[in-house]
Amino acid sequence: MLRVGAHESIAGGVYNAVEDQVEDGGNCGQIFTHSPQVWQDPNIDDDEAEEFRQLSDEHGVGPWVIHSSYLVNLCTPKEDLREKSVDSMQKEVDAAATLDIPYVNVHLGAHTGAGVDGGLDNAASALDELDVPEGVTVLIESDAGSGTKLGGDFAHLAEILDRSAQDLDVCLDTAHMFAAGYDLSSPQAVEETLQEFDDVVGAEHLQCVHLNDSKHECGTNKDEHAHIGEGLIGEDGMRAFVNHDMIRDVPLVLETPTEDGKSFAWNIERVKELRA
């Protein structure tokens, strides 16, 4: 069964994300538990959580993913930022348990001078400080790879899975992969890229995909999302990707823009059309 949905707002109550998802035609999805631009704790009371769980069950929407704050930097060598990042992540995995959400998604962040090896060690040890509730898994998201950010190389993802004592898995973002230099613009490119992911990381670790087209060329490290099939990955690449054996059973979460009269509903329908 195709699982496709969008990143929905929790404005007015986290349960509103479920209703918005259903309205958009989705059956899985992602949320922030608070504004991702500030250090803030999830503010979800028991009644909200219960309604979210009930509505998700009633409408058959799931799995859901919590996306961590953009401020979290697991690779940082700065102790104060590390402490804030670990504290924020702990609150996110606890919120996931409360909402019966199985995944919390996080970027590794930037090593800011610690070097690749030092940054990966920092991230692994920060993740190891978390007390992850049963039934919740932290997903490391692939990155576009600009500056000193880690996660753009599949080898970074594999190293984190190896170095951390946590039972981690991976979320691939198609726009980030493309920006980082992994071509997805043709059936052959999709096959080669996903085979490389399987060889380096392992297909068994892929639990979610952020499905986004790209407004920029492959390898530019520029992260700007486009409508499905209308960016530089394009229709042929997107069709090959969503129909690939490695992807068919993986939930697809859209972070596409709302522009040109097209929103999440248009993009969700586009994915359904591309799935053979």
Domain that holds residue 11: 4-274
> Could you tell me the CATH number of the domain that includes residue 196?
3.20.20.150
Domains held by the chain: number: 1
The pLDDT value recorded for residue 28 is 98
Supply the pLDDT for residue 179. 98
Is the pLDDT at 276 greater than 90? The verdict is: no
Output the six-digit token pair for 59.
């409408």
Per DSSP, which regions of the chain are E strands? 4-7, 29-31, 64-67, 103-106, 109-110, 137-141, 149-150, 169-173, 206-211, 213-214, 225-226, 252-254
User: What's the maximum distance between 2 C-alpha atoms anywhere in the chain?
Assistant: 49
Checking if the pLDDT of 103 tops 90, the result is yes
H/E stretch holding 180 reads: none
DSSP 208: E
pTM value is: 0.97
C-alpha 231/C-alpha 185 separation (Å) is: 10
Beta bridge partners of 138: 104
pLDDT confidence of residue 171: 98
Tens-digit pLDDT profile for residues 197-238: 999 999 999 999 999 999 999 999 999 999 999 999 999 999
Number of C-alpha atoms within 13 angstroms, CB side, residue 43?
Answer: 9
For residue range 49-70, list pLDDT tens digits in order. 999 999 999 999 999 999 999 9
